[in-house]
Each structure stands twice: as structure tokens, then as C-alpha cells.
Chains A and B, each alone.
Chain A
């Protein structure tokens, strides 16, 4: 065939849109026919610098044999051409046995069939893409003109391979970028750590076509129990290797793989390729990420990619976790701040409400005293029948009720210092209970006392503390409609390294409606028809003035327990003041 025509045909095919294998195979076909070569085989170099036969003309018989082996660059004739990038021509007299390779025993019987051989590098100025191997059964001398033609064709094939390489690597980069941008999107979202790790696992597994991706977190900083997030299926036999590999990655603080870690060529390592790398942030190890690909799929690209990508992923995850945790912390802080703000607003509200109330109460008190006082005087001076005196009674009763509400209000507002006297809560409770002993509405009430007989005394204003217990006990009595059991216990406890005495008062009144529980210490909050809503507010205030606290344990449907805690030693040294 005319060389120009041949080159024209080759260029037409090599520039076509065919898929890479068909394209090069077609080029090899045209060339082998046009130049009378039985064999036209292209070896390409892998990223691990080994040569593999990948393309051939249709008639090729050697391809089947050559396909079973890979040879290193520099090894034998093919490896030598790849290394030196100089074409080599042989005839059947000087061709090295088995092409100079230790492998290819099958070649011995076949190579004799061929008389002339040509080996041409497929390279550009900087990179070797492969080697073109040509064999012909005709004993013939390859002319200089043919050599020039072959060098042009091998350049052309090298160019096709180069473009394909560039195409593949840019495709790979694009998919990596897409993966990383997907990761970035997730990491910059405000997802919870769990959701975050699940998504990361999914993305990595998808992008690497991995059998599984597993992320194990284990660091106090993360405020989570050691845990593993896996995307894919984690078999029992591989899990043992995985744990070992993860430990190794943590120990070495770098990426380790089953191949270079395990050394032994047993079932697991020949079946899978497994990589683990530590997730590190600011020199803290937060955990490990491991990815696994099946080795059976002969996906060498997986191994190459994995090692590089797993590091990138680990960095991403580390910064993502940091962000998420910071976010979570920030959320907590904001929540605390909001709560604190709410409390302050509430306090301010009640404080100003209290002040206003005190002023109003005071302003109302005087006219009320006048109304009540003169009503009494009127009653004394007038001669009244039963109806009139009933009217007067109503006025005076209502006035005294209003007066007691105002007294409560004015009491609520004041901040009373705790006096130096101390008293025993057992005695205090007994005195309170004594008040109810003659009350007939208490006939169906049972009071169980569980006192701590060695209860220390607590500094307090006994009148005020009695008022607290009276309020709580009356509430309990009303909650049970006058029928039930009140259990009163006393004891000692330590809170914040300070000693406290406590009194617990439990009723069987069905508990407090959960929706009301937050409000019960607020002033003016009441569920009673004629309550002022000040009883528990005042009680709470009194106990707080004593540096103590009131707590409620509410069991809806059963009853409520009020705990009153009072410090045994007053924290401000009052003996010194007095």
C-alpha cells in the first residue's frame, strides 16, 4: 500500500470518535495489513511503571500469551525500548529468547514462526505511553523508509494514548472535584455530626466505588461514645483486620494499607484492598476513616486513588467535625445565653412588677384601712337589723381579705436578711402540724413523719420558714381534697460542697399538671378560685433569701414532692456582723 494512503487511513481512524480500544485496534489492523505484519500489539505503561499489552490487530495470536504477564520498564526487549525510548529491530537470528523476559515460556514454540521483529516506543518528549510490538513471518529487511513510516505511526498512536490519558485524568479530577465539592457542601451545612458522617460515608463510597467506607470516632473532645459509622457492608472476618489496621494508622499517624501493613498474602488481603488513615485536627486524633475496595475487580486505579483521596477525605472530615462541634458548642452557648436572658428579663419583670405592686399596695392600703375602720365605726354607732349587720360584716370581711392580700404582696417584695437564730426543722414542722391538729378538715388526712433524729439546726427566721411549710402543706391538703397521706421526711445532704438540711413533703394529690409546673413559683400564678398566687412565690423567695432552694419532684397521676433545702452554716458570717 502506498504510504501516504496508509497514513491517511490511519489518521482518519485515529482521529475518529471511536472508543479508545476500538480506535487503536483499528489503527493496528490497518497498519498490520498495509505493512504485512501478522502481529501488531501495543503495550501501555501503568502508573506503577509496569507494561501491559492492551491493544492488538485482529489476527494477533501472540496477544493471548503476552496478555497474561506484565513486565517492568527496563525488563527484556519491550521494557528496554520503553526505558531507552529507542526503536529496536530484530530478525529470528538475533531476537533474544522470550523477548529477553524470564516469563513468556509459551513464546518459545511460537516465536520461531516469525522472522522479523520491530519494537517501537510510544512516547512524546517527556513521557512514555507504551511500546508497539510488530512481528512478521516473512524474512525481510525493514527498510529505512519503512522505519520512518513506523516511527510516524508510533508517534500517532502515542498521541492518541496521550490524549486519552489526559482525558481520563481530567475526568478523574473532575469527579474528584465534584466529590470534594459535595463534601464541602455537606461539611459547611449545619448537620449534626451523625448525619454528617453518614453523608460523608455515602459520598466517598460512591465516588470510589468502594465496598464500604467506615468512620470511627473516638475522642473525648467529640463528646461522644466511641462509635463507628459505616456505609456499605462490613463482614465479620474483615472487621478484625480493620480494627488492627485502624490501630496501626493511629499509631503511625499516617495512612496504612492492608498490603503494606499485613505482609502476609492470605485470603483477606488478596481479596480486598483496605486503607485506613487517622482523622487529625490540630494534632488531636479524632478517629479513623477506612475504605475498602474489592481486589477481585482488578481495579488498580482504586488503590492509586484511595491512598491519595483517603488523606484528603480525612482532612475534610477533621475540619468538618471541628466545624460541626464548634457549631454545636455555639448552639449550646446561644441557648444558654437565651435562657439567661430570659431569666434576667423575667427577674427584671418581676422586680419592676414587684416594685410597682408595692407602691400600689401601699397606696391602696391606707384607703382600705379608712374604709374598713369607718365601716366598723358605723357598725358600732348604728342600730342595725340582721340584714344591715350582714352587709357590714361582708364589707369588713372583704376589707380584711384585701388587707391580707396586700400584706402578702408587701411581704413578697421585701428582701429580709436571715437572722442569727437557728432552729431545728423537725421542731419547726411539728409546730406547723400542731396548727392543723384542731382543724376538722384534717380528720381524713394521714401524716407520716420520717425525721432524721440527728438533724443539725439551720440558721433561719423560724416564722418565715414556718410560713413556707404552711403554704406547702396547705397546698398538699387542697390537692388531695382533704383526704390522703402527707409524708414528711427530713435529712442532711451535701450540695456544692456545702452542708444542707432538707425537708421533703410528699402528697398523694395526683401531682401537678406538667404544663403548669414552670409557673408555680411565679407570683400571681394560681389554680385556686380564691388564691392570690403568692403562697409559693413567697415561699420560694423566703428560701432563696436563706440561701436555700425549693425543688419539686412531680409524678403526674400520683403526687408531688416539695424539697426545701436550707444551708446548715450561713455563708455570710453573721456572727461577725452582729
Chain B
């Protein structure tokens, strides 16, 4: 568990903090980025087992970042995590590996990560 790396991408600092805490508690190593550009930079330097990506962000949004990252590393697992449920219908989000509606209850997110990691 200790060597599983997760990147949390969200423009809201408190959300990044919440997810980092929650996921670290699960035993993952967690890094954060506050927008799409930052996320791509991080991905270039480090290999992440899972990326948790917000959608609505200033600069580069999550869908764009998702597509860029998938272009770079085809098998990179990305979970879209947004306040909206409606992006599910946006076909450009379909290449993500999962879609989780952002919630105070992080159990769905944690379970989705486990599913992707097969643990």
C-alpha cells in the first residue's frame, strides 16, 4: 500500500486537503495539483497509480487535462471527480476510468480507487 501514489487535482485547497488526508489515512502516498497544467507537469516527472481529477478548474479544466494525460500515457488511470453529475454525458469524459460525484462521504471515491487498483 505504502508505495501506491495518488495525484489529487482540484482548484479548491480545502478539497485537496480533505482528499489528501482521507486517502493518506488509507495508506496511499498523495500528491496534489491545483489545475490541469500543474497536473500534467507532475505526471511528466512522476508515475501515479491513480489520478483523482476535478473537472471545473481555472486554467486547464479536468476534461482537457484528462485528454492530454491519456495522450501521454494511455494506460494512466484517471478518476473524474466533480460536483456535477452531468459530465457523465459528455463523451470526452468517457475515456476516464471512472466518474465519481464529489461528496462529503468519500467512501465511494475510496471504493472506486480500490476497484481500479484491483485491491
Contact = CB atoms under 8 A, between A and B. Distances in A.
Interface of A: 361-362, 365-377, 396, 399-400, 403, 406-407, 410-411, 413-414, 416-417
Contacts of B14: 366-367, 370, 374
B83 A373 contact: no
Contacts of A371: 104
Contacts of A366: 12, 14-15, 83, 102
Contact of B86 (A372, A377, A400, A416): A416
A400 B85 contact: no
Contacts of A373: 18, 22, 104, 106
Given A375-B104, A376-B104, A407 B85 contact: yes
Given A366-B15, A417-B89, 19 more contacts: A361-B83, A362-B84, A365-B102, A366-B83, A366-B102, A367-B14, A369-B15, A369-B102, A370-B12, A373-B18, A375-B104, A403-B103, A406-B83, A410-B83, A410-B84, A414-B86, A414-B89, A416-B86, A416-B89
B3 interface: no
26 contacts: A361-B83, A362-B56, A362-B83, A366-B14, A366-B102, A367-B14, A369-B102, A369-B104, A370-B104, A371-B104, A372-B103, A373-B18, A375-B104, A376-B104, A376-B105, A376-B106, A396-B104, A399-B104, A400-B103, A407-B85, A407-B101, A410-B83, A410-B85, A414-B84, A414-B85, A414-B86
A400 B18 CA distance: 16
Contacts of A403: 103-104
Nearest to A370: B14
B103 A377 contact: no
Nearest to B12: A366
Interface of B: 12, 14-15, 18, 21-22, 56, 83-86, 89, 101-106
Contacts of B86: 410-411, 413-414, 416
A114 B91 CA distance: 125
B80 to A, nearest CB: 15
Contacts of A414: 84-86, 89
B71 to A, nearest CB: 24
Nearest to B54: A366
A370 B106 CA distance: 11
A366 B104 CA distance: 9
A127 B65 CA distance: 109
A480 to B, nearest CB: 31
Contacts of B105: 372, 376, 400
Nearest to A377: B21
Contacts of A375: 104
Contacts of A417: 89
A365 B83 contact: yes
Interface centre among B14, B83, B84 (most CB of A within 10 A): B83
A545 to B, nearest CB: 11
Q: Which 9 A-B pairs have the closest CB atoms?
A: A372-B104, A365-B83, A414-B86, A373-B18, A370-B14, A373-B104, A369-B104, A366-B12, A399-B104
Nearest to A365: B83
Contacts of A377: 18, 21-22
Contacts of B104: 368-373, 375-376, 396, 399-400, 403
Contacts of A413: 86
Contacts of B89: 414, 416-417
Nearest to B18: A373
A380 to B, nearest CB: 8
A489 B104 CA distance: 40
A573 to B, nearest CB: 18
A370 B56 contact: no
A399 B18 CA distance: 15
A268 to B, nearest CB: 82
A368 B103 CA distance: 8
A574 to B, nearest CB: 14
Contacts of B56: 362
A572 to B, nearest CB: 16
A369 B103 contact: yes
B22 A370 contact: no
A42 to B, nearest CB: 103
Nearest to A375: B104
Nearest to B81: A369
Contacts of A365: 83, 102
A369 B84 contact: no
Contacts of A416: 86, 89
Contacts of B18: 369-370, 373-374, 377
A419 to B, nearest CB: 9
Contacts of A410: 83-86
Nearest to B11: A366
A484 to B, nearest CB: 34
B2 to A, nearest CB: 21
A375 B105 CA distance: 10
Nearest to B84: A410
Interface centre among B18, B86, B103, B104 (most CB of A within 10 A): B104
A369 B84 CA distance: 13
A411 B88 CA distance: 11
A377 B102 CA distance: 16
A403 B108 CA distance: 14
A38 to B, nearest CB: 117
A397 to B, nearest CB: 11
Nearest to B102: A369
Contacts of A396: 104
B106 A411 contact: no
A286 B86 CA distance: 60
Contacts of B12: 366, 370
A415 to B, nearest CB: 9
B110 to A, nearest CB: 12
Contacts of B84: 362, 410, 414
